[in-house]
Amino acid sequence: MPETREKIIAANWKMNKTFHEGLALLVELNMLLESEPTQHTVVVAPPYIHLHSAGHAVTDTGIKIAAQNCHQEANGAFTGEVSASMLESVGVEFVILGHSERRQYFGETDELVAQKIKTAAAAGLKVIYCCGEPLEVRQEEKHFELVKQQITNALKDFQPGVLKDVVIAYEPVWAIGTGLTASPEQAQEMHAFIRETLKGIFGESIAKATPILYGGSMKPGNAKALLSQPDVDGGLIGGASLVAQDFFDIIHSFPA
């Protein structure tokens, strides 16, 4: 039943906000949430360097902290990289993996992301695994095929026990940061398809329990329609998460 699934709104700040700007954003968000709390899960993913202080800033607020990436190996000689257990050790609870910007600009493949998921899960982190098609793939009507591949390649080798710590984010690449959004019907269609794909690999109970978030230009004006879809369990928000009031308004856009 959809209503038993965890509902999650997650902020992906990407490479935005200096240290003080980031903390000010968290303080403002927290003040808004104190005035009007939510029963849903709120996650914020600042850049690595802010994570430790961000964790302190949200102590006792209910806001959870995510990283935007981690390395696939548990530790070792990988200059400049950050491991999953380091993240866990500073209070990070979630990590976003497989974001399309990581795939596009840093050459990350499904196989690499599968390794990262394994390492992150072993370190005790929950994973927000991103999938979604570029524009030309949708135009060729191969979007279902591609998303099925992304889900299957990255997740198929995991035991169902690991899946309880995985959240999926469907983010059509053509909608990220472009102002274009998937229509509520397009989002619902793909989310239902992802759930079917999960059912085929892991069975019905995992498929029903896994939250599937939508990402791609979600904002206060379109969040209600997207979040009202039965298989849309939340959002992964980029641009609109950089303004506390906008992010707060999205958090409060779930149907009552």
The catalytic residue positions are 99, 171
Among 9, 207, 236, 250, binds ligand PGA (CB under 6 A): 236
Instruction: With CB under 6 A as the rule, give the number of residues binding ligand PGA.
Output: 13
Using rule CB under 6 A, residue 68 touches ligand PGA = no
Asked whether position 133 contacts ligand PGA by CB under 6 A, the answer is no
Measured from the CB atom, the residue of 129 and 202 that comes closer to ligand PGA is 129
- 230 to each of 110, 191, 233, how far by Cα in Å? 27, 9, 8
Task: Measure the CA–CA gap between 94 and 87, rounded to whole angstroms.
Answer: 9
Distance, C-alpha 139 to centroid of its chain? 25
The distance of closest approach from Cβ of residue 176 to ligand PGA in the complex, given in angstroms and rounded to an integer, is: 4
Verify binding: residue 234, ligand PGA, rule CB under 6 A: no
In angstroms, the CA 148 to CA 103 distance is 16
Taking the CA atoms of residue 244, residue 232, residue 254 and residue 55 in that order, the dihedral angle to the nearest 10 degrees is -40
Interface positions, 23-52, toward ligand PGA (CB under 6 A): none
Least distance to ligand PGA, CB of residue 27, Å: 22
User: Which residues contact residue 180 at a Cβ distance below 8 angstroms, ignoring those fewer than 6 apart?
Assistant: 174, 216, 217
Q: Which of 215, 223, 232, 248 binds ligand PGA (CB under 6 A)?
A: 215
**Interface with ligand PGA (CB under 6 A), residue from 7, 8, 9, 12:** 12
Nearer to ligand PGA, 55 or 239 (CB): 239
Token pair 């209070």 in the structure block, residue? 91
Residues 147-206 within binding reach of ligand PGA (CB under 6 A) = 171, 176-177
In this structure, the chain runs to a length of 256
Query: What is the end-to-end Cα distance of the chain in Å, rounded?
Result: 16
Q: Which residues bind ligand PGA (CB under 6 A)?
A: 12, 171, 176-177, 215-218, 236-240
